[in-house]
Chains A and B, each alone.
Chain A
Amino acid sequence: MSESVHTQDLPMDPESEGFTRRGFVKYAIGGVGLAYACAIGYPIYRYLNSPVEESMAMAAVKEVTLPDADKLPKGSALVFKFGVKPALLIHHPDDSWTALTAVCTHMGCTVAYDPGKTKIVCHCHGGTYDPKTGENLSGPPPRPLKKFDVVMAAGSVTVKRI
């Protein structure tokens, strides 16, 4: 008697649920439905994602050349777009140059160069950075601003990703 109980428990029993005709039809319909869902979903995803792909391609730029930026007066800064995000080119009062991303590492506000106090400030939550190194000095920002290489030329400044 105990043997017959055993056979009933065997998972490969052809009478068990997974092998019925009904079960097969269910899976077949499910499979076809899934195939249709993918065939419809994939183009829609790519369609909606198109500008994301475009902006990723734009974000991948290696360098940006800024015509006439060499004429930037000492103690001032220029905001420009590096790929898709804002960046700062600073001409320091001691005639040195720095380029940094202008996106605050705290929550993404665009930072500003404050020539009077020679600091970079973020107006959103009062974070400050060192304008020469990009180091976070005070306030909530957790990380320094990323630096770029600056290459001077006659009539232009080229900013490169490091």
Chain B
Amino acid sequence: MAKRSDYWIDRFGIGDAIAYAKKKSVPLHKHSFWYYWGGISLFCFLVQVVTGILLMVYYRPGPEAFESVRQITYSIHFGWLIRSVHNWSANLFLLSVFVHMFSVFFMKAYRGPREFGWLSGILLLMVGLIFGFSGYLLPMDDLAFFATKVGLEIPSAVPIIGPPIANLMRGGLEVSEFTVQRFFALHAVILPLLFLPILGLHLWLVQKHGNASPPSEEAKPEAERKSIPFFPNFLAKDLAMWLITLNVIALFAAVFPWQLGEAADPLRPAPLGIHPEWYFMSQFQTLKFMGKMFPGYAGEAIGMTLFTLGMVLWILIPFYDTRDKTALRAKRTTYFGLLVVGILLLTTIWGYLGVR
């Protein structure tokens, strides 16, 4: 028995990988819990790949999109479950990516040498959001239809280049079967092709630079800092987290199966209380609010400009708050982060109150 496993370990060089993994260590401190969220995001992504491929077995983009999702949901064995898992896991993916990003932010893990881990992570989040937006249309029920219609109004608000871009994305002046067809190509081919190499880079950088310790830990003398080996200790904990995640997804998918509305009909008025998914709620509410403050296109323009500005600052933070700069910058950055979290939470809650 032992002999046989030695054979495979030798032939595939597994020994080298294990030796490498044993050398790595993960810092252990009171904020260590936040280290799991990147792994949880990765696990959700893998679930998306598997369930996405399974859905592709029956999904038909184009004019039959709604009918095919209706079949998946109501007549294919366990189709409702696969679809529900894909939806819940998508939401959990974005949630864990957000948690991961904010924990990285507040632990100041974006500081050199990890600037590009931060940047690639932001790119992954953006691609993730486009995944969410494009996937939302695919069932082509009334909510999907209006969400996409409204969502594509945002690029069309950009002067001059906006409307042609929105038209290209829609494949026409109105959301139609052409839109579903191209959103499907985007969702199932182009975005994965974009996502995977960035993910590869992101994971490689984590391997290369290791987990960052928060400044409070870095201030301690070397002897007082604790760590655990990556293999097998941290990996075992990571896998345990994956198992918990799997159970949470399965539970939600089974207990709250994802619903399918009525087929999209451009001639019917938008359903009452229509609102975007939670991860777009903050933008939605801000635009709505700006629209009230400054009537007409000005509101949308101001809202978008503020958002873009905030995003740019957020992305560039590793180059502002570097290790060798003053403590003042570090403090300002933390306040900026708190402000962003505050605004996001407030506008999101406000948005949901407005929907009621």
Contact = CB atoms under 8 A, between A and B. Distances in A.
Interface of A: 36, 43-44, 46-51, 53
A43 B79 CA distance: 9
Contact of B82 (A43, A49, A51): A43
B97 interface: no
B194 interface: no
Interface in B221-280: 246
Contacts of A51: 76
Contacts of A44: 54, 78, 82
B57 interface: yes
B57 A43 contact: no
Contacts of B325: none
A145 B76 CA distance: 34
Interface of B: 54, 57, 75-79, 81-82, 246
Contacts of A50: 75-77, 79
Nearest to B81: A43
Report the 9 A-B pairs with minimum CB-CB distance, sorted nearest first: A43-B78, A46-B77, A50-B76, A47-B78, A50-B77, A46-B78, A47-B77, A43-B81, A47-B82
A144 to B, nearest CB: 37
Nearest to A47: B78
Contacts of A43: 77-78, 81-82
Contacts of B81: 43, 47
B233 to A, nearest CB: 16
A46 B54 CA distance: 12
Nearest to A17: B1
Nearest to B71: A50
A47 B57 CA distance: 10
A61 B76 CA distance: 21
Contact of A49 (B75, B77, B246): B77
A36 B249 CA distance: 14
Contacts of A47: 54, 57, 76-79, 81-82
Contacts of A46: 77-78
A48 B57 contact: yes
Given A44-B78, A49-B77, 17 more contacts: A43-B77, A43-B78, A43-B82, A44-B82, A46-B78, A47-B54, A47-B57, A47-B76, A47-B77, A47-B78, A47-B79, A47-B82, A48-B54, A50-B75, A50-B76, A50-B79, A53-B77
